[in-house]
Structures are given as structure tokens and as C-alpha cells.
Structure 1
Amino acid sequence: MRLIPRLPDREMAAEQMDEPDLNPVLHRQALRGLARLNRFGGAASLIWPEIKKVLGRFPRSPVTMLDVATGSGDVPISLARKLLRSGYSSQVTGLDYSPVAIEEAQKRAKELNLQADFISFDVLRDPLPGQFDIVVCSLFLHHLSEDQIVNLLRKMREATRKILIVSDLDRSGLNLRLVQLAGRMLSRSAIVHNDGELSVKAAFTVTEANDFARKSELPNAIIRKRFPCRWVLTWRRED
């Protein structure tokens, strides 16, 4: 076995987290493990600098934010808290297909006394609900086919008033090893261990992400690699 494997091509495989009949107890354990990995990897902190750059364009009334495929809601909740510390209230809407994930997100928001709506929603099938100052999506695109990605990015573009930010894994052998190591250090969930490896193999490179941005008609989108293991796509709507 190679110490650092080569991953020249994308490999998609069904992840356990996506199974409709997944045991809810195991599902919640995996969601909490992923939230822990997000905190360790600074998932919200990778997105926040892009939001800070456009804060001057926001009124002091609540900033509206949509998180697509929110999972347990840890990323938008963290971003909302960062906004509050910067003097901006916010109204968060999080969408996810999984009722178990939505329940976890609602519980987390309630514990923190955060104004947020988490809704069970099929983002691939249905139009996104309204327009928002900020639209974010973290660790979702690698679950999708290329056609699904382009269609979703177009819907997210239409829902964006000011800034669209997408963050996902960067496919590489080094990142595969880092995700394997972090998963085992930070979570006891066998689902996290299994799905983390599959996620990196199904992820996209920066070059591939740039191609999606072009096909989705996101002019002047900027995509940068971010440590650890990710890239971040940013697109701003011109006033």
C-alpha cells in the first residue's frame, strides 16, 4: 500500500450517512462526529473571511443566511455567532433532506438561543425558498453527480443577494490520509471513519471546481485551496 496514494480520478460510492434507513442513534453519533471534525478543521473559519470582506454591504438589520445541506447546523450556527460578535444580527435558514439532521440542528440552535429555521427539504428537487444575503454550502457537492452540481449551483446563484460561498474537500492522496487520521482521532463513529475516506475519493480538485463554476454561470468566481483538505469557492453578486 502506498503511503500517499494517487487519486487522479473521482470515485463515487454510496456513503452510509446517506442511507434512508440508517439507525437514528448511529446517525446522530455520526453527525456529532462530523461537527467535531468541522470544528477541528475550522469549517466555518474558512468561510468567515469571505463574509467579512463584504460586511460593509450589509445593513445593520438582520443578515439573512441560507445553508444548503446543513447537516447538524454547526457551520451556519458558528457563522451566525461570528456575525453577532461583529455587530450584526442574523436570520439563519438551514436545509437538509434528513429529518434526523434537522432535529439535531434545531436542538443545537435552541441550546444557543439562536434565531434559526432548520427545514427538512430536498434541495435537488425543489426551488430554494427565497433570496438571502449569504448562501453557503459545505461538504455537499462531493455527494452529487456533475449535472446535479451545476443545477444546484445555478439555484444557489439565483437565491444569492450578495455572496455565495461553497466549501468542499480537495481530492488528493495527502488529503485522504489526513482525513483518515483526523476521523480516527476525533470520532469513534465507524460511519465517520468509512464515509470520510469515501468523501475524499468522491471530491473534486480546484480545476474541476472551476469548471463547475463556469458551467453554472458564476462569472468571476474565485476558488482557492484552504488548509486543511479543502477548497473554497466565492462568488459575489455585483450591485
Structure 2
Amino acid sequence: MSAVTGPAPRDLSRRSEQPELMDTERVGFEEFQHCLRDLRRINFCTVAYRPTLTWLDRLVERTGRRRLSILDVGFGYGDTLREIHRWSIKRGIEVALSGVDLNPWSAKAAALATPPDAGIDYRVGDLFDLPDDDRPDVVISALFTHHLPDPDLIRFLRWMEDRATLGWFSNDLHRHAISHGFARLMVAALPVNRLVVHDAPVSVARAFTRDDWTRLLDAAGFAPDDVTVEWFTPFRYGVGRVK
């Protein structure tokens, strides 16, 4: 009698190249919007905005700036920009907030979820096609970099360094057996969209270790002391630079 075995453990020793359904599958707007709403709930429950807001606090403290223009690359549902809007009100910081995303449905869903008085400009397009004179104080991304293969990510790091006048910050997942297992358990337990069920553990497998970030930053031309790589609970890396 043969033993019953489960699925083979995923190899997390290096970044996965498995695609996410949100990047490859055509779905209707309502399902896409549903998926973004589910991801926003997960982000809220896992305090996913904290690394970005913590870094912005440090940026303001270090530079003394009370006005900031901030560009969010791959804004998705726009929830990070809305959290920054709330942060700016609490801190008394004047902000000009904008985002760029390849998916026009992201812009539509984000706009529908955003109060008009927030004044957030959601744009559709390729970040590398933005005009040369579009140079915000700060470039951020959240859960964006794991979508990129290494060569594109290295290009993105160089692009942020060139475009951001004050600094830049990436907030993304830590690839680890615990975070991967947690993602699988979470989507099994929660009533979430099928895209999230598939993509959540894949996102972790596509994400990064500290060694990955060290290697990628070196390939992008940064000296070890140029950029901070900080671990945040639960299983996030904040990678940032203040010029």
C-alpha cells in the first residue's frame, strides 16, 4: 500500500520565476477589483504599510522637509497612497501624491476607492516611459519589485536613483519558509478571490532574502552604505535610500 504524500515542498533557495495570475490572466473588472480589495484587507491585517510610513517619518526628520512630491510605482489599489495621505494629515506634511501602473483597471479601481479631496493622481503607463522632467522628491513601491525579474529590477533601482531627488523606498516580501507557509494557510482560511489564493504564495516565492538585495544593489551600482535594507515584522524588507 503506497503512502499518501502531499505536494512537494517549494524550492525557496532562490527567486521563483512562476508567473502570478494577476500579471498574466485576463479577467473582468469586477473580479480584478475584488482581488485588489482582498489584497488591501490582507495588507491592513499584516501591517504592510508600516515600513513605508516609518521610512517617510525618518526622511522628514532627516531632511526637515514639510512638502513632498511622492510617486508610487505599481500602485495597484492605491491603498499605500491613501495611507500616505492620512499620514501627511497627521504629520502636517504637504504632499503631492501620484502613482503609475501599467494596468488601466488598477487606475479605475484606485480612483473609485479614493476620496476626491485626497487629490491623488493615478496614471496609466510604463514607468520607464515617464517624461525625463518628471522628477518627484520621493519614489516608492510596495509589493511591486517581486513582480520583476532580476534584470528589470536592477534597471528599476537605477531608475529610482536617477529620478528621485530626495530618496526612494521599496517595501516588499521576505522569501522564507515561514512566510510562504503563512501565505498558504491565510488564503486557505480566508474568503478571498481565486487570484489571491494562487498568487499569495507565489508572491512570497518570487520575493527576496537579504542576500538577494545585497546582490541586486551591488549589480545596480550601489555601495554597501548607500542603501539600508531593514527587516520588518511580519516578513517584510524595506529597502531605501535618503540622498
TM-score, with structure 2 as normaliser? 0.89
Runs of 5+ consecutive residues of structure 1 not aligned to the other structure: none
Structure 1 stretches (4+) deviating beyond 4 angstroms? 1-6, 124-129
- What is the number of residues matched between the two proteins? 235
1:7-86 to structure 2, matched below 5 A, reads: 7-19=12-24, 21-56=26-61, 57-60=63-66, 62-86=67-91
- Distance across 2 between alignment mates of 1:145 and 1:86: 36
- Distance across 1 between alignment mates of 2:114 and 2:193: 23
TM-score, with structure 1 as normaliser? 0.90
- Distance across 2 between alignment mates of 1:25 and 1:129: 36
Specify which of 148, 163, 182 is matched with residue 167 of structure 2: 163
- Distance across 2 between alignment mates of 1:150 and 1:167: 15
1:1-239 to structure 2, matched below 5 A, reads: 1=6, 7-19=12-24, 21-56=26-61, 57-60=63-66, 62-110=67-115, 113-124=117-128, 126=130, 130-219=134-223, 220-237=226-243
Runs of 5+ consecutive residues of structure 2 not aligned to the other structure: 1-5
Question: RMSD across aligned C-alpha pairs, in angstroms?
Answer: 2.1
> Any idea what the Cα deviations from partners look like across 1:2-59, whole Å, max 9, x if unmatched?
9986521222112111136222221111111111111111122121111111214244
- Distance across 2 between alignment mates of 1:18 and 1:2: 24
How many angstroms does 1:192 deviate by? 0.5
Cα 1:167–1:128, aligned 2, differ >3 Å: closer, same or farther?
farther
Secondary structure of the residue aligned to 1:17 is helix
Larger Rg: 2
Give identity over the alignment, percent: 22
How many angstroms does 1:109 deviate by? 2.2
Higher mean displacement: 166-175 or 8-17: 8-17
Secondary structure of the residue aligned to 1:7 is coil
Higher mean displacement: 18-27 or 220-229: 18-27
